[in-house]
Amino acid sequence: MTEAAELPPAPEQAREVFGERYADAVRYAELLAEAGVQRGLIGPREVPRLWERHLLNCAVLSEVVPEGVTVCDVGSGAGLPGIPLALVREDLKITLLEPLLRRTNFLNEVVELLGLDHVTVVRGRAEEVMGKLPPVHVVTARAVAPLDRLAAWGIPLLRPYGEMLALKGDTAEEELKAAATALSKLGAVETSILHVGDGIVDPLSTVVRVEVGESPGGVRFAAKRAKAARAGRARRRR
């Protein structure tokens, strides 16, 4: 039996969540179950639970993303949560940031196939693109790293008063406590744990929200951003 044959039918909740993009969500699930497994982007054991554990779990993140903002999905991997979020929210401008070539190739194929004109794929690490990509309103991430490390990569990509939304599991509260000092140094001014997806996913998806003040990334990154901005202005004058 092929991996594609093991993909279960889409649950009824998928029609509710994805609406007019339901057919595209089904195609994305098929791509994950086929090419995603073949290329090592997801494990074969994940195929039977792609809908509940991955697509719907990520799509409900849309409940806490403001309207019409820019988003950077850090360590996007196979496109989770960025692709499901893009299917649900065409009002967003989303950048899928991923360092590995085989993953960015897959992401580019998905974006083109599904006609996601509001999505851009960028190959690189978060620490490398800071100052090269425009700062965003929201950074998203899922299963990338512990919160303190994730924040060090993601928060410097934010605009002043932006927020990082990290999908986490049962360890969310412990990670948030452990990362408190690091988050403060990175310019965080408020943190909270949200539960989203009521009536859609069980258990609910857990989101750690980190809101920043006027200096996302802290003083060191503010200086680095200013230096990058000056270098950009100098290049434009040439």
Residue-wise pLDDT for 174-193, tens only, equals 999 999 999 999 999 999 99
Q: Mean pLDDT across the chain, nearest whole number?
A: 92
| Res. 3: pLDDT tops 50 | no
Q: Looking at the DSSP assignment, which residues form a beta bridge with residue 233?
A: none
Q: Give the H or E element holding residue 158.
A: strand 158-168
Q: Give the H or E element holding residue 74.
A: strand 70-74
Assigned token pair, 6:
């093991």
Between residues 167 and 226, the one the model is more confident about: 167
Residue-wise pLDDT for 147-172, tens only, equals 999 999 999 999 999 999 999 998 99
| Res. 2: pLDDT tops 70 | no
| Res. 46: pLDDT tops 70 | yes
Q: pLDDT band for 95, please (50, 70, 90 cuts).
A: very high
**Mean pLDDT within 96-124:** 98
| Res. 228: pLDDT tops 90 | no
**Mean pLDDT within 54-69:** 98
- List Cβ neighbours of 108 (8 Å cut-off, separation of 6 or more): 121
- pTM of the predicted model, to two decimals? 0.91
3-class secondary structure, 227: helix
188 — phi, psi (to 5°)? -70, 140
Q: Give the H or E element holding residue 114.
A: helix 101-114
